[in-house]
Structure 1
Amino acid sequence: MVKLVLLHKADSIYEDEPDVVYDFPRSYLKAIEEAVGDWIVYYEPVKAGPRGYFAVAKIERVIPKPGAEGRFLAMIEPGTFLPFDREVPRLVEGRPMEAALTEPDGKPKKGGAVQLAVRRLPEADFARIIDFGLPQELERIEATRYEPQREEVDDEAKPFERPVLERLTRRPYRDVAFRRKVREAYGYRCAMSGLMLRNGGGRPEVQAAHIRPVENHGSDSVRNGLALSGTLHWMFDRGLISVADDCETILVSHNKVPGDVVGRLLAPDGKLVRPEDPRNVPHPENLRWHRENVFGRALPSEPAPWG
């Protein structure tokens, strides 16, 4: 097995969904087959945008692309895709993150390897990129974000180093990374009420909901997330509300939700608040899955949060 950098740009002729599938030509088949079962890092080329390295995932298998001679699909292992908490720049202090793109004097190489859409990534470079994009102390950063006094106390303790693979696979760490990216994408505003509420300490009172749960092969992509208030998150997970196939209209199970509750909790226009960056809007397939598998189902016997 081998780790790789995979180039991805939103307007490409290749039909990529970074958390699901990577579309590529035959010329890269051998390299990607060698990476099956191992991790890859996604990279946005300079002409496509400013992000640099922006996510990590694991390749599960490679198949021919149906109806496309000479094209193949690298299927992403469900539950492995994770966007970086902070996008990793192509250069740090003028030096590339990848050794293969670095001249002996430390300056960036030009042409050749730099233009490859699939590049082998040594373990040391992979670890360096992950450390930059998914910091070891991310859980502590989030826990102390709105409590500076607590951070001063925590600083007295010796920081606990989490190995790279533990960060990529440990559910509590991934939940923190997912929550930070989703809430940021929506500007810390509830996508269904339109409200941006904060407590007395400035902490946003909005949660990150998976549209398609991880246990049902949902990913930790921002496109599989909605920023929701606690009550709306509860309602969404229990199928009382969903989003229509226009990816905008909020659906309500009116036989289960009182009309006055709808009026108090949802935006007056009944429309979803969308992220500013179009790359972060909910994916239609994730919303379809929620409508078909969660919306309108029988409720468990538990009290509703509105009393």
Structure 2
Amino acid sequence: MTKAVLTTKVDPTYDDRPEERYHFPRTYLRQVEAAVRDWIVYYEPRRTTGDVLSKGGRQAYFATARIDGIIPDPSRADHFYALVSGYLEFERAVPFRENFGTYERALTKEDGSTNKGAFGRAVRNMTDEEYDLILMAGYSHTLGLAPRQRPIGDVPEEIHPGFGETAQAPYEVDRRIVEQLVSRPFRDRAFSAAVKTAYADTCAMTGLRIINGGGRSEVQAAHVRPVADRGPDAVSNGVALSSTVHWMFDRGLLSVDENYDLLIAKSTAPDTLSRLLVPERKLRLPERPELWPAQTYLDYHRRQVFKG
């Protein structure tokens, strides 16, 4: 087993759904096979689509997952699906190159320039140490290494009690981070940080944004499709809500339609609920469309949770 980097675009050319599967041609079969039953990181390139002129991608690692197995694509010869589990987005996207260099050593030549041949491969195997460094950069707040990143001018979120000051990458590798990836408390903290950042610490249904005296956001991260019902820890399965609205959303008093309009279960919700919601009665969404609640999860919430 070995770790790997899997490249996927915002609007993928292949049939990728990162929280569930990764679609790839036979060219990369050996590299993906080497990572079966091990962890990978997802990388978003500069190009956002298959168009060679497209741009705007973050050129950053954005999530991790575990490859459970590989199956052939039944409709396309010489193509395969890597089936994944344990998907968890980073609380911050990690650039492939930071001030100390690249996280993947193979991406840098001896003269310090980028190895474009290696960089151009959509699947790349990597060492445990390289993987751990990316995770520590991606989950630095969850691990207590740094305040959570906020828009410029905002008060930084306090570091978790018991940890020291902000660490400068590259971090000292701590192998225990991999063990924490399957821990529910760790995953909840990482998911919460990623969702809060995507929604700029603002409740998507009330428009309220409250930061307490310690610099901590009062908004909460809600799963649209619950984890207990196989909902992933993906920002596209999350929404930032104030505590009261979060409680109502989880109990089906509130939901969201396919146009992101707010739905109220009028037979069970209190009459005063409408006063709490934004006047336009429309979910306030993150800037990046790929972080908006996915239709498949919203549909599940309306069918299985909503009491309207």
TM-score by length of 1: 0.84
- Structure 2 unpaired stretches of 5+: 49-56, 149-154, 166-173
Q: Is 2:230 the counterpart of 1:217?
A: yes
Once the two structures are overlaid, the 10-residue window that deviates more, 87-96 or 123-132, is: 87-96
Deviations 1:7-48 (A, max 9, x none): 111133212121121111122223223322111111122344
Point out where structure 1 has 5 or more consecutive residues left out of the alignment: 298-307
Alignment of 1:113-192 (within 5 A): 113-135=118-140, 138-139=143-144, 141=146, 146=157, 155=164, 163-192=176-205
Q: How many residues align?
A: 288
Distance in 2 (CA, whole Å) between partners of 1:73 and 1:263 is 45
| CA pair 7-146 structure 1, distance change in 2 beyond 3 A | closer
Quote the Cα distance in structure 1 between the aligned partners of 2:37 and 2:158: 40
**Corresponding residue number in structure 1 for 2:89:** 83
Runs of 4+ in 1 over 6 A off after TM superposition: none
- CA-atom RMSD in angstroms: 2.8
Compute the displacement of 1:106 (Å): 4.4
What whole-Å deviation, never above 9, does each CA across 1:95-139 have from its counterpart, x for those lacking one? 32212223234443232x221111111112112222222238634
Question: Secondary structure at 1:84's aligned position in 2?
Answer: strand
1:156-305 map, 5 Å: 163-246=176-259, 248-260=260-272, 262-296=273-307
8 Å contact from structure 2 (residues 141, 147) kept in 1: no
Residue 53 (structure 2) aligns with: none
- How far residue 276 of structure 1 moved from its aligned partner, in angstroms, is 1.2
Change (3 A) 1:176 1:206: same
Work out the CA distance in 1 between the residues paired with 2:11 and 2:41.
Answer: 19
State the AA in 1 paired with 2:261: T
Whether 1:103 and 2:114 are equivalent positions in the alignment is no
Q: Distance in 2 between matches of 1:142 and 1:239?
A: 34
Percent identical residues = 44
Task: Note the C-alpha offset of 1:208.
Answer: 0.4
What's 1:305 paired with? Answer: none
SS at match of 1:46: coil
Cα 1:253–1:6 shift into 2, 3 Å: same
Q: 1:277 to 1:136 in 2, by over 3 A?
A: closer
- Please report the TM-score for the alignment, with normalisation by the length of structure 2: 0.84
1:62-103 superposed Cα distances (whole Å, 9 cap, x missing partner):
2222422332221211xx111122222222336322122232
- Within the candidate set 54, 61, 65, 2:73 is matched to 65
Q: What amino acid sits opposite 2:234 in the alignment? A: S
Residue equivalent to 2:34: 34
Higher helix share: 1
Report the secondary structure of 1:290's partner residue: helix
- Residue 84 to residue 296, structure 1, CA distance change in 2 (3 Å): same
Report the secondary structure of 2:116's partner residue: coil
